[in-house]
Structure 1
Amino acid sequence: MGEITLDLLLNQVPYLVKVVPFPFNAETRFRVSYNDSPEYIFAWDSAVRQFVSIGDDSSTIPNELEEAIAVQLLQIATDGRGDAMQE
């Protein structure tokens, strides 16, 4: 799967989000950037049952944007079957 582009509008602010899935050990992670930002890595967090941004700079992503991206990544990772990640 190649690059995926998402158009999100949150609180009247448009975000052009670029997503690139990649394998990491036995899971899929995602390289994500928005509006030409630096790249962030999103990984599945089974404790909160969603994808989260990991790494030192992850706190710079607006919370509502991170949550909206997480919802989209879950759909991408499970082909719309969100329960597949609920282990």
Structure 2
Amino acid sequence: MKKLSFNLLVDGVPYMVKAEPFSFNDELRYNVSFNGSETFIFAWDEDTLRYAPIGEVATELSMALEQEIASRLYEVTPSRE
């Protein structure tokens, strides 16, 4: 998969999101940054059935932004079956 970039408008704030897919233990993950931020790793979460940020920095994202990014990643990811 290629690097992705997309625009989001969340709570009236524009975000330019960049996501780069990579494989980790045969699992597709994404390095995600927005508006020049640090990089967040999004991985598939079996409990919530969506992509979610992992690690300590995950708490720095607003829930609304996290959900919008997760939704967009799900749309562009090949079938999980």
Compute the TM-score of the two structures, normalised by the length of structure 2: 0.93
**In the alignment, which residue of structure 1 is the partner of 2:9?**
9
Give the equivalent residue in structure 2 for 1:46.
46
Cα deviations across residues 15-56 of structure 1 (Å, max 9, x unaligned)?
Answer: 000000001111100000011000000000111100000011
Is 1:77 aligned with 2:64? no
Bigger proportion of residues as helix: 1
* Runs ≥4 residues deviating over 2 A: none
Match of 1:19 in 2: 19
**RMSD, aligned α-carbons:** 1.2
Identity of aligned residues (%): 38
Structure 2 Cα separation of the partners of residues 58 and 46 of structure 1:
17
C-alpha deviation, 1:72, in angstroms = 0.6
Deviation at 1:2, TM superposition (A): 2.6
The offset of 1:77, in angstroms, is 1.0
Q: Return 5+ residue gaps in structure 2 as ranges.
A: none
SS at match of 2:17: strand
1-structure distance, mates of 2:62, 2:35: 13
Matches of 2:58 and 2:10, distance apart in 1? 19
Code of the aligned partner of 1:9: L
In the other structure, the counterpart of 2:37 is 37
